[in-house]
Amino acid sequence: RCSEHSLEVGSCISLSQQVCSPELLSLSLTRRGLPKEKMSENGLMSRAKVLTIDTMNPTVKKVEYAVRGPIVQRAVELERELSEGMKKPFVEVIRANIGDAHAMGQQPITFFRQVLALCSYPELLNDSTFPEDAKSRAHRILQSCGGNSMGSYSASQGIDSVRQDVARYIERRDGGVSCDPDDIYLTTGASDGIVTMLKLLMCGEGAARTGVMISIPQYPLYSAALAELGAVQINYYLNEENCWSLDITELQRALDEARLHCNPRALCIINPGNPTGQVQSRECIEDVIRFAAKERLFLMADEVYQDNVYADGCQFHSFKKVLFEMGPEYSNTVELASFHSTSKCYMGECGFRGGYMEIINMDDDVKAQLTKLVSVRLCPPVPGQALMDLVVNPPQPGEPSYDNFIKERTATLSVLAEKAKLTEQVLNTVQGISCNPVQGAMYSFPRITIPKKAIEEDKGQQPDMFYCMKMLEETGICLVPGSGFGQKEGTYHFRMTILPPTDKLQILLNKVKEFHQKFTQQYS
């Protein structure tokens, strides 16, 4: 209350200077923990912001997401400057920073877009230009939607028929290993499922705070989510000298050190790897499962690139399949969540935000809490759920769209394989750049040698950030510095997607080659 006039603070504020002195009003607000008012130049009172950089959630300030960080922000500025007629040493910005397939020119799968068009505008079901299998698929999806419309909410866990189709897909993929649709949760891309599982794992304070093991280099979603949730990030390093392989002795080292200051509870694996492009062998996956079982860790398997395997001798093995083939000692005990998405592979449908996660051996009470948690956001986008259904249940042999679907799918993956090989070959011709084989996924993560003089002149930036920013300003090529993903101290990298069309990718690689040679000469 305002002691001078016996008014509530709210009334005193509304009367402003008519009844209260600024000093008294400021004191009253301060005592109540409210923001102080300030005297403006025109003599009127202006209230300070409720939400400031000092009063906002401190964990959010710790969040960093390199693939859309300062480099990309500068790329956007350069694009605007070019559109305004400003002269640059290049005519366009080539964004090779993110795995956005369609933005890079990859064409959507015809059948998927036909069915989604029919679902979005059912009047097209009467159009004779659409194949009958696309119409029947659209009709089935619409029947599963409230009011036969994709504009309606679905169940929080996802549309029942789609979860059933996902379960059947997993059974086919894994050679008959059983899958319960009730263990499937449809998600807003794989990211949504990953963050949801991390939320469930968070607990404890101080030395009991949850720790989560993530690979270094890592996809920045993990470090960003852990920072936001206030968890402890436990780094384990992939072996660059052995094509970014995963070493169990390194896992043990990281775990033992982490147990001195936190409670490690989960182990995250990205296979095929992002940003490193490696494909884990079956033997490696078995070792990881044994390690998780021995150390009582919850396994999280990020498998969104499972169709993107290019190198000879490499094959995708799902963690679930390997887990169950290892027998009941592991399949009945190891807790596992695996994730897939419509955004990568041959689909590249990033904008629809479709995905799923499957949970294995989760405690029933925790599963009930998971279902409650996903219900808070009502449901994943229904068009994304419909697309996920088409990915796991594409045209079958004998259906009108089958031949064209196989042709488009095969062509997309074949071109990606060619571009993966091209990227490795060209980068390895550059003195000071070494690139491991791009076995899978959509990226290369080459190591770069940065001269000592450049490191000393980096103006407060990480050396590879300085390198990538200078490349952007001089060539228009937008890459992401390795420091945004994590790397061993004293090493420097950048991540580059292999998604641009082959001719543009060749131009990009030549520009990288020319820039690196010029950069090295400049700072030698």
Q: Are 349 and 387 in contact (CB under 8 A)?
A: yes
Confidence at 19, pLDDT banded by 50, 70, 90: very low
**DSSP tally for the chain: helices H, then strands E:** 19, 16
Which of 163, 183, 160 has its CA nearest to residue 320?
Answer: 183
Cβ atoms of 221 and 197 closer than 8 Å: no
One CATH from 3.90.1150.10, 1.10.12.10, 3.40.50.360, 3.40.50.300 for 62-93+405-523 = 3.90.1150.10
Instruction: Give me 258's structure tokens.
Output: 């982490």
Query: Strand pairing of 443-444 and 298-302?
Result: unpaired
CB–CB of 389/162 below 8 Å?
yes
pLDDT value at residue 251: 96
Q: Do domains 62-93+405-523 and 111-392 have the same CATH topology?
A: no
- Beta-carbon count within 10 A of 98 CB: 19
- pLDDT of 38-64, one tens digit each? 665 666 666 777 777 776 666 666 666
Residue 162: pLDDT over 70: yes
Extended strands (E) in 78-182: 94-95
What is the pLDDT, as a whole number, of residue 56? 62
Residue 152 CA, chain-centre distance (Å), reads: 27
Q: Check whether 23 has a pLDDT greater than 60.
A: no
- pLDDT top residue among 79 and 2: 79
Residue 83 to residues 68, 73, 168, 182, 473, Cα–Cα distance (Å) = 21, 16, 49, 51, 16
Block residue for tokens 């550059």: 430
> 219 in helix, strand or coil?
coil
Is the predicted pLDDT of residue 470 greater than 80, yes or no?
Answer: yes
Q: What is the mean pLDDT of the chain?
A: 87
Q: Is the pLDDT of residue 294 over 50?
A: yes
Give the pLDDT band (50/70/90) at residue 297. Answer: very high
Please give the Cα distance from 346 to 391 (Å, whole number): 10
What tokens appear for 376 in the block? 């808070």
- On whether the CB atoms of residues 467 and 433 are closer than 8 A, the answer is no
Where do the structural domains in the chain lie, given as residue ranges?
62-93+405-523, 111-392
Token couple for 93:
């910005």
pTM: 0.83
Tokens (6 digits) for 77? 């500025």
Report how far residue 364's alpha carbon sits from residue 290's, in angstroms, rounded to the nearest whole number: 23
The amino acid present at 188, given as its one-letter code, is T
- What is the spatial distance between Cα 519 and Cα 386, in angstroms, rounded to a whole number? 48
Q: Can you tell me the mean pLDDT for 75-89?
A: 88
> How much of the chain is in helix, strand and coil states, percent to nearest 5?
50, 15, 40
In tens, the pLDDT along 106-133 reads: 899 999 999 999 999 999 999 999 999 9
- What percent of the chain shows pLDDT beyond 90? 57
Segment holding 121, helix H or strand E: none
Q: Mean pLDDT throughout 341-364? A: 92
Residue type, 442: M
Instruction: Write the CATH number of the domain with boundaries 111-392.
Output: 3.40.640.10
Query: For residues 428 and 436, what is the distance between their CA atoms, to the nearest angstrom?
Result: 9
How confident is residue 24, by pLDDT bands cut at 50, 70 and 90?
very low
Mean pLDDT of all residues in 256-267: 94
**Whether the predicted pLDDT of 20 surpasses 90:** no
Higher pLDDT, 281 or 100: 281
Whether the per-residue pLDDT at 520 is higher than 50: the answer is yes
In 89-209, the DSSP E strands lie at 94-95, 184-188
What integer pLDDT is reported at residue 446 of this predicted model?
94
Q: Hey, what are 441's tokens?
A: 């996924």
**What is the reported pLDDT for 2?**
45
Q: Would you say residue 7 has pLDDT above 50?
A: no
The pLDDT of residue 426: 94
